[in-house]
Amino acid sequence: MESTRLLLVRHGETAWNADGRLQGHLDIALNDVGRAQARRLAAALADEREPIDIIYSSDLARALQTAQAVADATGAPLIATRALRERDFGAFQGRSFAAIEAELPDEAERWRRRDPDWAPPGAGESLLQFKERITHAVCALAAKNIGRHVAMFTHGGVLDVLYRAATGLGLQDARTWRLDNAAINRLLWTPDGGLTLVGWADSFHLEDEARDERFT
C-alpha cells in the first residue's frame, strides 16, 4: 500500500518553555538549551537510515530554527507554513497557567477539562477547531508527498492532536505520552487508513536538561 513516512519534531526549548508561559502564535526564539538540542537533533537525523526527502516547518521562529539546523545537516529542502503553527491561545498567550487560574478560574477550569468547544478569550482556537486545522494540514501534506520520508517541525499541542488522531484517542482522554522538545516521533499515513503510530518520544540524542510546558 502506498504510504508517507512522517517524522515529527517539537521545536527545541525556549525561555518561555522553561518559565511555563504559553506561546501559542507568539514568535519566541530558541534559548541556548534549545539551540543545543537542535544541533544534537540535526546530527542524529543526518545519519538517518532513510534520508529525509522534504522538511515542512511551522513559520514561527522556534520551530523554524530547529528545522533549519536539520535542513543544513541533511540537505533536505525546507518549506515554512502557517498551517503547522501551535494552537492560538488568544489573550492567554504570554501568561502562565497559574496566572490565568488566579484571575479567571472558570475559564481555567474549562481549559483544564479540555472542553472541546471552549476557546480562549481574544479569538483563540477551540480544541475542535485546532484539531481540524492540524489534521487537515498534515494529511494534505502527506498526500502530496506519497511514498516519501517527510519531516515536520511543529509544536507540543500539534503533536498531542496528531498522537490522538493516530491512536484513536479522544480530545478529552488523559494524556499519558510525552511531548518533549526536540524528540523524534514517527507516524505513517496511508490514503485508506489515515495516520497510524510508529514510534514516539525518541530522545536518545538529547540530554536530560530539556524542560517541558505543563500545559500545551
**Using a CB cutoff of 8 Å and minimum separation of 24, what contacts does 167-172 make?**
167/197, 171/114, 171/116, 171/127, 171/128, 171/131, 172/113, 172/114, 172/115, 172/116
User: How is residue 119 written as a grid cell?
Assistant: 476557546
Residue found by looking up cell 536539520 in the block: 70
Inter-axis angle of helices 156-167 and 127-144, nearest 10: 80
User: How is residue 156 written as a grid cell?
Assistant: 507540543
- From the list 132, 182, 193, the residue with the least C-alpha distance to 153 is 182
Active site residues: 11, 86
Helix (H) / strand (E) containing 152: strand 149-154
